[in-house]
A and B are shown apart, each in its own frame.
Chain A
Amino acid sequence: MQRKARREGSPWQGLGVVTLKELSDHLTSARMRVLEWLVVLVAVAAVYAAIQQIRDVTAQDPFLFLRLFTTAREPLPSFVSFLGFLVPLMAIGLGFDAVNGEHNRRTLSRILSQPIYRDALLFGKFIAGLLTMTVSLVVLWLLLIGLGLIMLGVPPGGEEMARAFIFLLVTIAYAGVWLALAMLFSVIFRSAATAALVTLGLWLFLTVIWPSLAPAVALALAPAGDQATQVIAAQMLARLSPSTLFAEIVLAILHPATRTLGPVYLSQLQGAVMGAPLPLSQSVLVAWPQIVGLIAATILLFVGSYIVFQRQEVRA
């Protein structure tokens, strides 16, 4: 008997169909509408507060426009902190029932009996989720810039726009991580409620608990090391959380004066002009490992769900 090592046909057959269907499902779902309103209201509130604050302290800041993103006024957090909080929530909301929902509606085996591979279904769902996030984030981003133009009356410079745009791309990648995580759990757990709870639990853990737990873990792992080793180890551990990575990237991209994201020795600061902004390319370079980390985490999580899904029984 002749055995073919490769399977016939393209794994992407049906990908576009699945993506479009999922996209239209997302964009018309009540869930999505609630999330969008939440995000818009919260963002407008944050921007309004930021603008009040910026007007109060009109400094000669060359990156005044970027302050829109990062300035907070009590009791509201900054726009960036809002996004760091809401983007995972939206992504998890879109992904937690991606695959188990098909199981529970008993549509999975019917769809998979059409001439497509499982790849197309899973990847199509991921792309649709990410596109939905992208659409909302781009809208939000334009909204913010528009509001900024109207209320500040200062046009942003070219570099500011470039930084703001990179920030947008990074936020989309950040959404990708949580979407991939939510989809992984939607493959693993048959019950959508379980998948949602586990993903949300992990998100809370990674965002709130892990950054403060990391130093303790570092201490337990390397009790004999000197202080510098421990600080570095703690930071490395904290970076296992996508939230930490996102916060660090935001710091490097939106605060052009940021020269490093780790601890530095005093000797390394010799000759540095403190507070002087870095050029854009250098800022990106500072955050590059974190950016790669976010994208890599997305890919790893997606591959994980892919492997689990391929081996899963489709019968309900």
Chain B
Amino acid sequence: MSEPVVEAKGLTKRYGAAIAVNGVTFSVGEGEIFGLLGPNGAGKTTTILMLLGLSDISGGQARVFGHDPARNPLAVKRRVGYMPDTVGFYDNLTAADNLHYTARLMGLSAAERGKKIRAALARVGLLESADKRVGAFSRGMRQRLGLAEIVMKDARIAILDEPTNGLDPQASLELLDLIRDLKASGVSILLSSHLLDRVQSVCDRVALFNAGKIVLMGTVAELGRQVLGGGYAVEIEADGGNDLGKRLAALSGVRNVSEPEPGRWRLLCERDMRADAAAEVVSAGGRLKQLSLDHPSLENIYTRYFQNAQEVAHAA
């Protein structure tokens, strides 16, 4: 992989005695979508602000395109597009005028501005609302306008803080599509969210935050193996059959069988054993109603991780 776009080494932020971000280390590669996930107040936004040079760094190192945001904030801010949590615009100005203002701050020439603004608005589907005041915009439109600003900036990396926060499911799906679209055009993306499942689908790699630290990092599949103990979870729903539970447990490759409710079994296996399980149910005279393989979800990984951590803490 080429040179990382964003790199944090032992990044730390202290407010007096309180530590908001505690020795966070991660890197975002080129063209990758990296998710900072975790509950509110875990230090995600603070980490982002330090990367942008908008908040002082108490310890550790940050590099964005090789620049230190604390020392060369302008060099960093020229290349990075940032969309803050619940992004705000000037309500009395139109969408296009809002972008004109930031375009001038970026130092774009007058000729470039008009063209880029139209192109950016078209890309996020706001072209017909270009001359409407932002005051009349819905939450989803504002978020899209925030993305338009990043598109207009030709940023090489987009940092999105809680992009889907407060959006209805339809709007947040649209926004995630736009984020994928942005990635497809070669932009690296660092996004933060507390909605684990919603962003799981777009992230190449994630870092799970808790209390200022990264507790888990990797692709969702890696984390699943790491935390959920690897293996495959197969769920079966079936009617009838004799001693189905015992027969399923006897299959080679099945480690464990549980019966969460009558007629439903959960198998932990070493490989994908859907076919074997189905054959077994049928041969036992049962009628198979449903068969599924669990994909590891971040939500599961996250809750399981903390259950484990608590068990370890109790045991100690």
Show the binding face of A for B, using Cβ within 8 Å: 3-4, 7-9, 13-14, 17-18, 21, 25, 105-107, 109-117, 313-316
Contact = CB atoms under 8 A, between A and B. Distances in A.
A115 B74 contact: yes
A235 B72 CA distance: 50
A77 to B, nearest CB: 36
Please report whether the interface of chain A is mostly helix, strand, loop or mixed according to DSSP. loop
A111 B89 CA distance: 10
Interface stretch (B99-107, B170-178, B217-225, B300-308): B99-107
Given A7-B73, A17-B105, A316 B54 contact: no
B73 A114 contact: no
Nearest to A4: B71
Contacts of A14: 104-105, 107
Contact of B87 (A110, A117, A313): A110
Nearest to B89: A107
B82 A109 contact: yes
A313 B101 contact: no
A272 B52 CA distance: 67
Interface in B36-85: 45-46, 49, 52, 54-55, 71-75, 77-78, 80-85
B86 interface: yes
A315 B52 CA distance: 12
B88 A107 contact: yes
Contacts of A109: 49, 54, 82, 84
Contacts of B49: 109, 313-315
A106 B74 contact: no
A31 to B, nearest CB: 12
B149 interface: yes
Interface in B218-255: none
A114 B77 contact: yes
Contacts of B46: 315
A9 B67 CA distance: 14
Interface in B160-200: none
A113 B82 contact: yes
A314 B54 CA distance: 7
B2 to A, nearest CB: 22
Nearest to B88: A106
Contacts of A105: 88-91
B35 interface: no
Contacts of B212: none
Interface in B103-123: 104-107
A115 B55 contact: no
Given A7-B73, A314-B54, A115 B105 contact: yes
A17 B100 CA distance: 10
Top 5 nearest A-B pairs (CB, nearest first) are A106-B88, A113-B82, A9-B74, A114-B105, A17-B104
Given A106-B88, A315-B55, 15 more contacts: A8-B75, A21-B101, A25-B90, A25-B92, A105-B88, A105-B91, A109-B84, A110-B89, A113-B54, A113-B84, A114-B102, A115-B77, A314-B54, A315-B84, A316-B86
A69 to B, nearest CB: 37
Contacts of B146: 110
A116 B105 contact: yes
A60 B86 CA distance: 69
Q: Which of A4, A9, A110, A111 has the most CB of B within 10 A?
A: A110
A4 B73 CA distance: 12
Interface in B14-51: 45-46, 49
A124 to B, nearest CB: 10
B73 A106 contact: no
Contacts of B74: 8-9, 13, 115-117
A6 to B, nearest CB: 9
Contacts of B86: 106, 316
A105 B91 CA distance: 8
Nearest to A14: B105
Nearest to B74: A9
A3 B70 CA distance: 11
Nearest to A114: B105
A8 B75 CA distance: 8
A3 B71 contact: yes
